[in-house]
Structure 1
Amino acid sequence: MSCPICGSETVPAYRPFCSKRCADLDLAKWLNGSYAIPSSSEEEDEALDDEAETQAKLRH
């Protein structure tokens, strides 16, 4: 099995990744929204937009 980030052989301690670095890069993609499951509902999209606006206001 190869690492989904860089293509190197995986290491059992970080499987399915080859290193902590690649595992962290993958986690960062999830956290910043690079990975997303598409929605087919406009209501869901609006709810997510509202939630994002609320979170942005709370950060500032």
Structure 2
Amino acid sequence: MTSPDAPPLIPEKWVTCPQCGGPSLYAASNKFRPFCCERCKQIDLGAWASEQFAVPAQPGPDDGLSQAH
């Protein structure tokens, strides 16, 4: 039994690493969360930096693609 002054116990939460698919502890003690390790975090960062995760967008009416009359 815990004392009334003790903080409530928080169960461990495990998630799937978005990079390798392995288990990853989602807690403040895992400084790479939601990734399982620094390597997975760096791989993901590199993919973002090289625009591999770019969101496709439709050109808008002001994108300069229309012909000027």
Q: TM-score range by the shorter chain?
A: 0.5 to 0.7
Counterpart Cα distance in 2 of 1:40 and 1:31? 22
TM-score by length of 2: 0.56
- Percent identity between matched residues is 33
2:47 is the alignment partner of 1:33: no
* Larger fraction in helix: 1
What is the alpha-carbon root mean square deviation over aligned residues?
2.0
Q: How far did 1:39 drift?
A: 1.0
Q: In structure 2, what is the equivalent of residue 50 of structure 1?
A: none
Counterpart Cα distance in 1 of 2:18 and 2:57? 24
Amino acid in structure 2 at the alignment position of 1:32: S
* Larger fraction in strand: 2
Gaps of 5+ in 1: 47-60
Q: In structure 2, what is the equivalent of residue 2 of structure 1?
A: 16
Structure 1's consecutive aligned runs of 4 or more residues displaced over 6 angstroms after TM superposition are none
TM-score by length of 1: 0.64
Amino acid in structure 2 at the alignment position of 1:18: C
SS in 2 for 1:10: strand
